[in-house]
């Protein structure tokens, strides 16, 4: 099988076919990730509403720390870089907290400091 490093030369049809198959799988996984994130955010929106109704702080540092530890362990067992998994979860957590702050403001509770 011959390939071109420039992207302009002839590529063996078998290589092209394998690349297309792998990319289709990646596209399917990306779609599943987006759908799973959407479901996760539906749940966290409900948590935000519950917190706002009961005047609970938007952030829960103890829960966040437990989740990070849990995700790092899951990442290790899945052969995924735990540091990457932690960065990913931290990004999601920051977005969730932002949503919870906005929900609290929309419900007249205003932002509250995190319980420590």
Phi-psi label, residue 55: left if phi above 0, alpha if psi -120 to 50, beta otherwise: left
pLDDT tens per residue, range 56-95: 999 999 999 999 999 999 999 999 999 999 999 999 999 9
Judged against a pLDDT cut of 90, whether residue 14 lies above it is answered with yes
Phi, psi of 48 (to 5 degrees): -60, -40
Judged against a pLDDT cut of 70, whether residue 7 lies above it is answered with no
C-alpha distances (whole Å) from 95 to each of 3, 17, 88, 91 are 42, 39, 11, 6
């Amino acid at each position: 099988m011959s390939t071109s490093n420039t992207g302009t030369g002839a590529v063996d049809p078998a290589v092209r076919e394998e690349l297309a198959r792998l990319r289709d799988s990646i596209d399917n996984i990306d779609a599943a990730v987006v759908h799973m994130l959407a479901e996760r955010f539906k749940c966290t929106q409900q948590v935000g509403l519950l917190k706002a109704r009961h005047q609970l702080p938007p952030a829960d540092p103890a829960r966040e720390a437990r989740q990070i530890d849990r995700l790092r362990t899951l990442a290790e067992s899945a052969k995924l870089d735990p540091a990457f998994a932690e960065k990913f979860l931290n990004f999601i957590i920051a977005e969730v907290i932002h949503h919870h702050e906005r929900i609290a403001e929309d419900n007249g509770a205003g932002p509250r400091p995190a319980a420590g």
